[in-house]
Structures are given as C-alpha cells and as structure tokens.
Chains A and B, each alone.
Chain A
C-alpha cells in the first residue's frame, strides 16, 4: 500500500484523516515543511477552519509553493473540505484571499436565504456523480457523504466538476483536474463511501 503525505499547517482534523488512511493500510507522513513533501507520491491537504488563516500559514512555511511544484511533477493531490477550497484562485471568506490557483474558480458563501435553509450546511447529503471516474470505484450514485461547510467552490470550467450536491442550489462536491482531486465533504467521516473514495485516491 502507498504512503500518504498529510499536509500539516497546524489546522483542522489531521488526526481523523490520519486514522482513516491508516485503517486502509496506508503509511502516514505528516508534513509541516516543504522538504518533507519531497519523497511523496500522494499528498492529502485536509482542512477545517478559515481560508485566510490556512493560506497564510501555508505561505509562511512555503508549503504553498511546494504543493504547486509537487503537482507539476505529476504527484497526486487530494484536497478535503477547506483543502479543496484552497485549490482554487480566490476565496471571499472574511475578506478576499488568493488560493493556490490549481483549479480555476473561486469560493463564495452559499446562498441559502432565498431557500430558507440554515448555515452551516451540516450533515449527510446525496452526492451525484456527473461522469465516470476511477475515484468513484465501487460507489453507488448518488452516495451520501458528510458535509460541514458554509462556503462552496464555484468551478470556472464545467469539465472539472465530477460531482454535485444540492442545498437550495446545486454546488460543486468533487472536482478533478488531471492528478488533482478536491472534495467538499469529509471522506474520513463518511463511513463506507468515504473509505472507498480514499482508497481509490491512494490507489491512483
């Protein structure tokens, strides 16, 4: 089984992601500095918290540039929740922040008021797969995943969207651009479906 390199910028539920990957037989390397990413094949960028803090911490440590160059070398990258949002150009969470520019698009607060829906969007939601992809190996369509977010990604290129969820409007749940995958939900908290997705990623 592969080794997964977990990007650690001192944020979020790193432990949960590590536990889940370990249960799949994956070795885990926690990476707090760019040098630790050197021997990686599969990089996971987990994240809960605020976009601005996260990107600032990544810039301070140089992890932002390290991740971008790793992806250029063809290494596989999985962004989870905030980690997915960081892949985009820009976020409007508490101000305006530049992201990693790996996938064209931006991150905005979900428009729930017209639909009389609550925020944050917390819980299990059906996730619809729009096309065939090896990341969906063995999954039903739709599959229920666990979400916890108030902001969501607006993907500029429709062809990057692999899956959607609905909360008043339809939102981007899964993006893929070549060796980069982003998921808005938490596969590490989504029981069987989540385990399948993580397994598919580390087998990529």
Chain B
C-alpha cells in the first residue's frame, strides 16, 4: 500500500537556509546546498523548498563551501534537481502562471501557492488545468485565536484573511488543488509538537492528501501527526537541521510505531 511520507522543509531567505520561529524570527543556518547533499543518501521521501526572501537579495557567494555560489533560490532548485532524484516541491512568491512555469523549468515537480490564492483565486483553476492538479500544492498557514478558533493567514503569516481552515481547504479542493501543505504559525519553531486538532479537522474535511507542518521537536511528534492527526505526510524544518541523522532516525521511529514507510 501507499506509504506515509516524511518531508524535510528548507526555508530559503536571501539564498541562505534559515530556521524560523512563529513565522517572524529567522536565523541563518548555512548553505542549502550542503544540507540537501545530506538528503541525497536516499532515505528521504520528498523535499519542500520555500523561498521566504522579501527584499530579493541573494548572496551565497561569500560562502566558501567547495560549491559554486548560487545567487537565487531558483538556482538552488536547479542545482539540487541535478543530483536529487526525488520529488521536489518549490514555493514562495509565486504570483503568476509564468512564475510557475519558471519553477517547473528549473526542476520543480510541484509548486506551492499561498497568498496568490487570495489575491487571484481564478489562477488556481488555470494552474491545475495547465500543469495538472497533482503539481499544485496549496500552502495554508493557520493561527489559533485565544478563543480556540482558527483563522487562515496570508502574506507569510502576516495578514488575517477572515477564512476558516476547513472552509478554505474545501474551496481550494473545488478549484483543483492536488494537495494541502498545512502549517501552524503558533507551533512553528516551538518544538512542542503538531497542532493535532487542527490537522485532524482539516484531514476529515477533505479528500486531498494533507502534509502536516509546524511544531516538531522530537521524532514521536511525526508519529502523532500520522496516527492522531491522520496526515498523509509529515513535514518539519528545524529538527532536520539540528539533529544528526535525523532523517533516518525519524523514519526508524515511525516504522517502529507501526507506520508503513519506505524502508530506511
């Protein structure tokens, strides 16, 4: 049967790999090419790159790492796709069909859309028709309010949209999106574990595969995301950057818990 997926997320800012905390604090942690080379040992199911650069400045050239400098997130994608024979998803700052074409031409297999779905909802259907639903992932960022209700945020988690997660995901599904990448802004970078109520609520309301993200601090959190949240795939960023052999050990932990995974 179909395996559950474990997905490292690489956040790129100005060409650097960064760690993120609640979507607003970003610390640079190095060269993304070095990191992705580590993933090329075949134990990873898929990779997601999100470009969160805001000022359009890229600079990897000062980084002397035996690798040729790259000047943009797209170049990171292009270099990675030459050596990583696994599915690559690329997101961030995509506003037009042309933006999407460029990502695919540079080696992306799937792209994520977020803010543009609010600004220009018609583009979702056009994208699904042009590239196929399977290539269009909707990234959905959620904040939990003090009263326990959830709201979807756009613009890198900075702008409230008035939309409820379940209603928004149903809308995205009806427009032809092929997969949901669900992020909890409150849990981002905390290591407290996924927001399981949020994940379960969204998973139960859609027929699309859901990738859970935000909050993983230990391997058991991945298990919860699948078993309690019902996610088809579990994603994280920080844990993969700061723990040795985290990809393999996380996978072993999930397999030991009885989850059907691609072997280590």
CB of B14 closer than 8 Å to a CB of A:
no
Q: Mark B58-91, 1 if CB is under 8 A from A, else 0.
A: 0000000000000000000000011101110000
CB of A190 closer than 8 Å to a CB of B:
yes
Interface residues of B in 24-49 (CB under 8 A from A): 42, 45-46
Contact of B209 among A13, A120, A146 (CB under 8 A): A120
Q: Say yes or no: A15 contacts B104, CB within 8 Å.
A: yes
CB of A74 closer than 8 Å to a CB of B:
no
CB neighbours (8 Å) of B130 from chain A are 49, 53
Interface residues of B in 146-202 (CB under 8 A from A): 178-179
**A117: min CB distance to chain B, Å:** 8
CB of B98 closer than 8 Å to a CB of A:
no
Q: Say yes or no: A194 contacts B133, CB within 8 Å.
A: no
Contact of B232 among A15, A118, A147 (CB under 8 A): A118
CB neighbours (8 Å) of B135 from chain A are 48-49
Q: Which of B105-113, B118-126, B216-224, B241-249 contacts A (4 or more CB under 8 A)?
A: B105-113
Q: Say yes or no: A123 contacts B134, CB within 8 Å.
A: no
Q: How far is A164 from B46 in the complex, measured between Cα atoms in Å?
A: 23
Q: Say yes or no: A124 contacts B45, CB within 8 Å.
A: yes
Known contacts A49-B131, A166-B1; decide if A195 and B85 are in contact (CB<8 Å).
yes
Q: How far is A16 from B86 in the complex, measured between Cα atoms in Å?
A: 9
Contact of A120 among B5, B83, B134 (CB under 8 A): B134
Known contacts A120-B178, A125-B1; decide if A20 and B85 are in contact (CB<8 Å).
yes
Range, interface on chain B: 35 or more
Q: Say yes or no: A16 contacts B81, CB within 8 Å.
A: yes
Residue of B nearest to A140 (CB): B263
Q: Say yes or no: A144 contacts B232, CB within 8 Å.
A: no
CB of A39 closer than 8 Å to a CB of B:
no
Q: How far is A126 from B261 in the complex, measured between Cα atoms in Å?
A: 10
Q: How far is A144 from B43 in the complex, measured between Cα atoms in Å?
A: 12
Q: Say yes or no: B109 contacts A13, CB within 8 Å.
A: yes
Q: Say yes or no: B179 contacts A124, CB within 8 Å.
A: no
Query: What count of chain A residues pass the 8 Å CB interface test?
Result: 38
CB of B96 closer than 8 Å to a CB of A:
no
CB of B233 closer than 8 Å to a CB of A:
yes
Known contacts A50-B132, A148-B134; decide if A120 and B109 are in contact (CB<8 Å).
no
CB neighbours (8 Å) of B57 from chain A are none
**B20: min CB distance to chain A, Å:** 25
CB neighbours (8 Å) of A149 from chain B are 134
CB of A150 closer than 8 Å to a CB of B:
yes
Q: How far is A15 from B102 in the complex, measured between Cα atoms in Å?
A: 11
**A138: min CB distance to chain B, Å:** 15
CB neighbours (8 Å) of A123 from chain B are 2-5, 45-46, 209, 232-233
**What are 28 A-to-B residue pairs whose CB atoms are below 8 Å?**
A15-B106, A15-B107, A16-B107, A16-B109, A19-B81, A19-B107, A23-B83, A23-B85, A48-B132, A48-B135, A49-B130, A53-B129, A117-B2, A119-B208, A120-B209, A122-B2, A122-B134, A122-B232, A123-B4, A123-B5, A123-B209, A123-B233, A148-B87, A150-B134, A166-B1, A167-B2, A189-B109, A195-B85
- List chain A positions with a Cβ less than 8 A from chain B: 12-13, 15-16, 19-20, 23, 48-50, 53, 82, 117-126, 144, 146-150, 166-167, 186, 188-192, 194-195
- List chain B positions with a Cβ less than 8 A from chain A: 1-5, 42, 45-46, 81-83, 85-87, 104-107, 109, 129-135, 178-179, 207-209, 232-233, 262-263
Beyond A118-B209, A150-B134, A195-B85, 14 additional pairs, beta carbon < 8 A: A15-B81, A49-B132, A118-B232, A121-B2, A123-B2, A123-B3, A123-B45, A123-B46, A124-B2, A124-B262, A125-B1, A126-B1, A148-B134, A191-B86
